[in-house]
Structure 1
Amino acid sequence: MCVGVPMRIAAVDGIAGTTAYGEMVDLSLTGPVAPGTWVLTHLGSAREVISAEEARLIADALDGLRSVMAGGGAGGAFADLENRDPALPPHLEAARAAGKREA
């Protein structure tokens, strides 16, 4: 399973960024970013630029998963998903609405 981890870029040198945690991140997929920018990283590569709010929600969800895996509860880690109906991503909803059974 791949897990994206939000990281804040502290410094940039060409296509390489250094995160606030001191890790090097490849910025080839995001293009130039300024220090202070939040990115979603996978296996040492920044995959997309995200907002500080989105970074917080992802970090909260990861904390909730760690807690559950350690035998605790999720707490409010998924509060943004509670009390709403599940929704398909837009491309799958369009396929469903068009009567397709496979995406």
Structure 2
Amino acid sequence: MCIGYPLQVVEVEEERALCQRVDQNAWVDTRLVEACQPGDWLLVFHGAAREKLTPERASQVNQALAALVAAEQGDHQAIDELFADLVDREPQLPPHLQQ
């Protein structure tokens, strides 16, 4: 399984961008996404950007990744806090499966 993670663009060169996550920097191949600029968020898999993200979506993905770490550590309270918008919500079927 491959997990993508959000990185924020710091600097742009032709076909690649220097991106940052927390305190780590990495050059990312940007040939599969539209032109980006410093401040943009990219969803990165194996060193290549696959999608541009809104800041809100980048935050959601980062929360999901933090929840994976919390689950691995058995920290159920942290999981509930990271997915607070889902805790009291009833599951919904997609429209095509609803009667």
**TM-score, length of structure 1 as denominator length:** 0.78
Q: What code does the residue aligned with 1:24 have?
A: W
Among residues 75, 83, 87, which one is paired with 2:80 in the alignment? 75
Unpaired segments ≥5 residues, structure 1: 98-103
Unpaired segments ≥5 residues, structure 2: none
Q: What code does the residue aligned with 2:91 have?
A: D
Q: 1:68 to 1:49 in 2, by over 3 A?
A: same
After superposition, the CA RMSD in angstroms is: 1.8
Q: 1:70 to 1:48 in 2, by over 3 A?
A: same
CA–CA distance in structure 2, aligned partners of residues 57 and 2 of structure 1: 18
Number of aligned pairs? 92
Q: 1:81 to 1:32 in 2, by over 3 A?
A: same
TM-fit CA distance, 1:31: 2.6
1:13 aligns with 2:16: no
Give the 3-state SS of the residue equivalent to 1:40 in structure 2.
strand
CA deviations 1:50-86 (Å, max 9, x no partner) are: 0001111110111111011022121322233340424
CA deviations 1:7-59 (Å, max 9, x no partner) are: 10100110111112310100011031011100111110110000001111110
More helix by share: 2
The aligned residue for residue 68 of structure 2 is 65
Conservation of the 8 A alpha-carbon contact between 1:15 and 1:31? no
The aligned residue for residue 85 of structure 1 is 91
CA–CA distance in structure 1, aligned partners of residues 49 and 66 of structure 2: 20
Give the 3-state SS of the residue equivalent to 2:25 in structure 1.
coil
More strand by share: 2
Task: Provide runs of 4+ in structure 1 moved above 6 Å.
Answer: none
Higher RCO (CA < 8 A, seq sep 6+): 2
**TM-score, length of structure 2 as denominator length:** 0.81
